[in-house]
Structures are given as C-alpha cells and as structure tokens.
Structure 1
C-alpha cells in the first residue's frame, strides 16, 4: 500500500531520501536535489507518498497547465532495492496521473545517474531534453499514460 505521508513521518521520509541518494554524492559531485528539499513543506502540501513498509517514497506535483504529473523524487532504501518497489511507485504515479485527468508523467535526473536513466527507459519513459541547470546536467524524461 502507498499512503500520503503525514508530518509524523517526516524523519522517516528524510531518512529514506538520505539512504537512497547518499551513493550519488560522489558520482555527481554534490548532494542531489532531493537531499536538499524541504520535506516538512512537501508533506504539508500533500505531495509525498510513502510505502506502508517505509522502504520507499514518491513525491508527486501536479502540472495541470501541461497536463502532466511531475515525479519530483522517487526513492527506495538501498536494502529494499531490487524488489520491485521503484516500479510499484512509478506505477502509482501513472495511476495518479490518470485519476487526476492528466495525460503524462515526467521526471528529471542527473545525467551521471546512468543506472536510473536506464531503469526509466526500461519502464517506458523517453528522454525529451537535456539542459544544464545551476551547474547540474539534467535529463528530462516523460511517459504518456
């Protein structure tokens, strides 16, 4: 099950994000953006969804003007990776997009996170563009739902 995170889970949310992204600090040359987010504000905004097992989460932001649901972050604890939880969270995002009357989901990632890019491609996402934003090389991806 996946439920909207509440403020009592903020510490758990921050812990999941830290565990999931710590390995990328050296690869990308700095803390990935999800490690710098204000999770108290994101939880209050109703955008953080947590696996009931507390092994993973997804942050979803409506972009209704574009008909898109932005996957701002998807994170799974390293000890729980390889069990299909990431796929479950991405499927949840697609379901949420359809439920909200949106036509696609999109996400972005650092181009140095090549294993994540390969995973998204395997799940049916396509690369739509690349850019340099604040010194970060960003790959934008999208999937129609």
Structure 2
C-alpha cells in the first residue's frame, strides 16, 4: 500500500470511493451522509486530501484540516473489499503524523450516530468520545485523540 497526496486526476475515483463507502448508511440516516455531497476537487486542490493506493487502485482516502488547537479528520473512507486490511488504520496514523508535524496536540473527528461500527472502531484506535450534538440535521458523535 502506498500513501500519497491526492492529485486532480484522483478526484473522480475519490468521489466514487466515498459514495460507495457511505451508501450503506443512507437507509439508517434517512438521507445521504454529508461526505457524499462534498466536491473533493476543492480539498484535493488545497492539498488536504491523501489516498492509499493498492494494486493501482485507490483503496482509501482521508481529508484533513488544521484547526485552532487540533487536526480534524473531515472525511475518511475505505473502499469496499479493503476494510479489515489496515487501510483505515494507516490513514488515521497518517493524521497523527500530520498533527505532530504541524505541532497540534490532538486529532479530532466525528461520525454519525447511526454509523454504529465507527462508534466501536474509533475507541479501539485510541479516540475518546467528547461530545454528541446535532449539526445540519445530522446526529453526530465527536471524538478526540491526544498526540504524544
């Protein structure tokens, strides 16, 4: 697996990957999850999106944003068929590396309350729940992980 910054030529593949990864949550949430509506050309052009390639295909992506006091994982997605192969773990590890590089003390992210798999996944990766709130009609669960 190769982790690299996303290029403009990756945008269509990233859009497809995100749509496929989040499609299963539409019935649970009652509408498309927020990442499905993002124009990934913007974060890619801003250098805020990274991809993992496996066998010449994009297996995962992460979109990051530096905030005041933390690095936010805005979107993380792994291709169907690649879950359980360490792609998500690698992307989260990269977010931690990037936070250290930027001198930020923690990584934060949020997920939808209906994405129950994530509510178990992130704590296993060292994240702790810090809040629950409704934003833009989505019931979100917020997590943070301190960076040593």
TM bin (shorter chain) = over 0.9
- What is the SS of the residue equivalent to 1:79? coil
SS in 1 for 2:81: helix
Cα shift at 1:15: 1.1
Distance 1:135 1:50 in 2: 29
Alignment of 1:1-145 (within 5 A): 1-53=2-54, 54-63=58-67, 65=68, 67-145=69-147
1:17-48 deviations in Å (ceiling 9; x for gaps): 01111111111111111101111111111111
User: 1:57, 1:76 → 2: CA distance?
Assistant: 7
Q: Distance in 2 between matches of 1:118 and 1:86?
A: 14
Q: Distance in 1 between matches of 2:64 and 2:24?
A: 23
CA-atom RMSD in angstroms: 0.8
CA offset at residue 140 of structure 1? 0.6
TM-score by length of 1: 0.96
In the superposition, the TM-score normalised over structure 2's length comes to: 0.94
Aligned residues: 143
Q: What SS does structure 2 have at the residue aligned with 1:128?
A: strand
Shift of the alpha carbon at 1:136? 1.2
